[in-house]
Amino acid sequence: MTEEKETVVAEEAETKKTEAKTASEGKPEKDKSTKLKAENKELSAQVEKLKAELAESGDKYLRMLAEYENFRKRSQKEKEGIYSDAYGDALKEILPIEDNLERAVLYSESANLADGVKMILKQFEDVLTKLGIESYGARGDTFDPVIHDAVMQTEDPDLGENTVAEVLQKGYRKGDKIIRHAVVKVANV
C-alpha cells in the first residue's frame, strides 16, 4: 500500500497546488477589480471637475458677452452724444454771424455797409479758425484732383501747367478731412 499512499499523497499535493493556484488567481482578479474601481472613481472625479470648469467657462463667456453688449450700447450713446454736442457747439459759434448779417441788412442804407460786411467776414474766418477749419484754393496753386473740382480750363501763358487759374468757390478742410472741395478753373491742362 505504499504505492497507494504515495498516489494519495501525490493527489493531495496536486489538489493543494490547484487550490493554491485558484486562490492566487482569485487575488489578482480581486486586485484588478479594486484597481478598476479606483480608476473609475478617479476618472469620475476628473469628469466632474471638467464639468465644473466647463460650467465656469460658460458662465464667464456669458458675462463677457453681456459686458461687451453693454459696452457697445454705451459707446453708441456716447458717440451720438459727442456728435450732437459738436454739432451744437459749431452752430453756437456760427449763429452770431447770422445775427450780424441781419443787422447789416437793417442798415443797408448806411455808407458803412461795406465795412460792416468786412467785419462779419473777419468774424466768420475767426470762427472757422476756432473750429479748426481752414480754407484753401488760391490762384497759382498746383491743381490736385483730390482737393479741387475743376469745372473749366483755360490757356494762360503766365501760369504753369496744371495750375489753378481762378477759384470759383473756396474749399474747406479740417485736418485731413475735406469738408468742401474747391471749385476751380485750371490753366494749361
DSSP 181: P
pLDDT of residue 86: 82
Q: Is the pTM of this model over 0.85?
A: no
Q: Which triple of cell numbers denotes residue 108?
A: 443797408
Q: Is the pLDDT of residue 102 over 90?
A: no
Contact 149, 135 (CB under 8 A): no
Q: Please state, in angstroms and as integers, the Cα–Cα distance from residue 147 to each residue in 69, 116, 157, 179, 180, following that order.
A: 39, 32, 24, 10, 8
Q: Taking the domains of the chain in order of start, what are their residue ranges?
A: 134-189
pLDDT of residue 90: 80
> Torsion angle of alpha carbons 60, 65, 67, 70, nearest 10°?
-160
Look up the CATH architecture of domain 134-189: Roll (2.30)
Residue pLDDT, tens place only, 37-75? 888 999 999 999 999 999 999 999 999 999 999 999 999
**Mean pLDDT (the chain, rounded):** 82
